[in-house]
Structure 1
Amino acid sequence: MSMFGDNCPLVLTPRQLSDLDPTKVSVLDASWHMPNSPRKAREEFLKRHIPSAQYLDLDEVASPHELGLKHMMPSPEAFAKACEGYGISPESHVVLYDAHGVFSSPRALFMFRAFGHNRSSILDGGLPNWEAHGCSTEEGEAKQVTRSSYPVPNLDQDVIRSYEQIVNNCALDPSKEETAEVVLDARPNGRFTGKDPEPRPGLSSGHIPHSLSLPFSTFLQSRTYTPTGKGAPITFTEMASSSTLHESLEGAVGKELADQIRAGKRSVTASCGSGMTAGVIWLALKIMGVEKVGLYDESWTGYAARDSSKIEKSA
């Protein structure tokens, strides 16, 4: 069991991770890159990763989808099988990180928490922050681990939104009807308005009716460090300060609606391009103490791919 017991923090610093008992912690590299990126997460893992880390491919640990969408939430059986392969038991403290800093690791954390594995955290700033703190890395394949036993868990259905739920909800105006969920879109604003194209060819940009734009980057801050004798400076992201998180939420939805969300009077659905960076919104709201927050698993890729979907664009 982790030194934190059942109350593992959502976010750990490199110092906190390095202080944990390595025999009781499972570290997973959950790096993922956009489909138009030349970067290859698994290849980068082989070049350097946190000692004893294993690579978590969120596209492989996923359920098949009727539209062929990637990294959808796995079935309880698939999740349990993956945990067993990583040597993770229900008592393990799972620490997730990515190579960007904070990008895909929150989505991985959402997955673990949705299956009730609350002994889980992300590493703030990911691999770059780990290195910036002078912590060591290793290369090559992940070390072999002893398979564990992981009972098939229950998925918390209250934190996943389906296409049908989104369609029903977007008929309601959250500024006028208190029963409407507030849908926050994590994509860059240009894609939300329809000004900029989607990275997936043939997919229209725009947004779900009555959704609100809240780019995931507004919940992050950038830092730069220069590796000792190893070349150019490296810029990475980490979670922004608590005050910035609250300011960003208010800037997107207004203070009145933000107060209702924080007080638990309104529920939130996080969405993005494919369900990945929506995890950053989910994590930020959880850090703020918001309980009623779910994630639209398909996100914009699933929504816009359907001919029946209503798509709005704005200047």
Structure 2
Amino acid sequence: MFRDACPLVVTPAQLQVMRDGAKSAKSPELVVLDASWHMPNSPRNADQDFKRIHIPQARFLNIDRVASFHPLGLPHMMPDAAMFREFCGQMRITPSTHVVLYDTHGVFSSPRALYMFRAFGHTRSSILDGGLPGWLAHGQEYERGEPERIEESRYPLPQLDEQAVKDYDQIVANVERDPAKDPDAFYVLDARSSERFLGTSPEPRPGLSSGHMPHSISLPFSHFIESHTIPDDIAAKYTKELPATYTRLRSNQSLLSALDESLGPERAKEVLDGKRQVVASCGSGMTAGVIWLGLKMLGVEQVGIYDESWTGYAMRVGSKIEKVDLL
């Protein structure tokens, strides 16, 4: 259905070249989407931020709205094929469109959006490394206000890669299997902080237990990204729109080191050699996308995401939860 795949990550300079090469600002060959998302306890509003400042001709992807209904009320669940098709049509995305996604943190929620496109087979998709802050730090243009109305396009009904999304039943079945003894069990990599994983710090969602699934492995998403400071002359122009720092994806060598440190050399080699399937999880399925992206950058093919992640798992009565023994 689609042309050849595009790189997973592009730089601000590369995106500018692509923009210059597009036939027009409204060309369906390139569509830039702001996929920003903030934690529930954040005072920021991604939709309002977009209206204040965004990359020229960008459109806004509300990850919480392009999402399937969940009986537990969980946000940003993977949309069904019809919903994804409708959104792409509204954004004037065609199967040949190169979609570039970014967020206002740098690298935070855009990997989750990229995961969605890739899971539906739209391999002509990338994230912008450094996001909007990285774009502005490189002296690139911006615009404010609502984007112009565009003519919708037709998008064929895609097929979801079922291996890319794991549900609760699959996770529970895997919890009962010890990966050290069962080569068919998959590794669950938990992207939350180590304190939440161990159960020594509370979850940001009130009433939700911290801790972790049996046999899961702690790999905080922060280990896959690095912080950069916005130059003073740039920051002075955007004091209301941007934080002082932003994040970028680490180098492949740093990603390898983080993976090796968390999994250990033997398990890391299993993953890199494709001998063991990996499933990323986090608080609600958002920053698990960073783990997914990092592993994809390392050439790991068998990477899925537990869509509900810890929120869906811990909300259910009977889910097995482990915590560190402080006594």
Q: Give TM-score scaled by structure 2 length.
A: 0.93
Pick from 241, 245, 252: which aligns with 1:235? 245
**Shift of residue 66, structure 1, vs aligned partner:** 0.9
For 2:263, the equivalent position in structure 1 comes to 253
Which stretch shows the higher mean deviation, 20-29 or 204-213? 20-29
Query: Which residue identity is paired with 2:289?
Result: G
Contact 1:8/1:120 (<8 A) preserved: yes
- Give structure 2 stretches of 5+ with no counterpart: none
What amino acid does structure 1 have at the position aligned with 2:189?
A: L
**2:277 and 2:162 mapped to 1: Cα distance?**
14
1:244 counterpart residue number: 254
- Give the corresponding residue for 1:313: 323
CA RMSD of aligned residues (A): 1.3
Aligned equivalent of 1:70, options 72, 75, 99: 75
Q: CA deviation at 1:216?
A: 0.2
1:96 aligns with 2:101: yes
Aligned partner of 2:296 among 286, 296, 304: 286
Equivalent residue in structure 2 for 1:158, among 153, 160, 163: 163
Name the counterpart of 1:175. Answer: 180
CA drift at 1:178: 1.2
Deviation at 1:10, TM superposition (A): 0.1
**Of 232-241 and 253-262, the range deviating more from structure 2:** 232-241
Q: Deviations along 1:40-95, whole A, 9 cap, x unmatched?
A: 10110010000000110000000000101000000100000000001111110000
Q: Aligned partners of 2:15, 2:180: CA distance in 1, in Å?
A: 42
Match of 1:51 among 46, 49, 56: 56
Is the contact between residue 7 and residue 119 of structure 1 (CA under 8 Å) also seen in structure 2? yes
Task: Show the counterpart of 1:18.
Answer: 16
Candidates 40, 44, 59, aligned match of 1:39:
44
| Percent identity of paired positions between Structure 1 and Structure 2 | 58
Which whole-Å deviations, capped at 9, do the CAs of 1:250-279 have from their partners, x for residues lacking one?
111100010010000001000000000000
C-alpha displacement at 1:143, in angstroms? 1.9
1:226 counterpart = 2:224:
no
1:231 to 1:85, Cα distance in 2 relative to 1, 3 A = closer
Structure 2 partner of 1:137? 142
Once the two structures are TM-superposed, the CA of residue 227 in structure 1 deviates from its matched residue by: 4.7
Q: CA deviation at 1:6?
A: 1.4
Equivalent of 1:195 in 173, 197, 200: 200
Partner of 2:217: 212
Map residues 123-134 of structure 1 onto 2, 5 A cutoff. Answer: 123-134=128-139
Give the counterpart letter for 1:246 in structure 2: L
1:231 deviation in Å? 6.7
Contact 1:132-1:227 at 8 Å conserved across structures? no
Unaligned residue ranges in structure 1 (runs of 5+): none
What's the secondary structure of 2:211's corresponding residue?
coil
CA distance in 1, matches of 2:292, 2:95: 23
Deviates more, 1:5-14 or 1:52-61: 5-14
Alpha-carbon separation, structure 2, partners of 1:206 and 1:248: 21
Contact 1:54 1:143 in 2 (8 A): no
CA distance in 1, matches of 2:105, 2:150: 26
CA contact (8 A) 2:5 2:125 kept: no
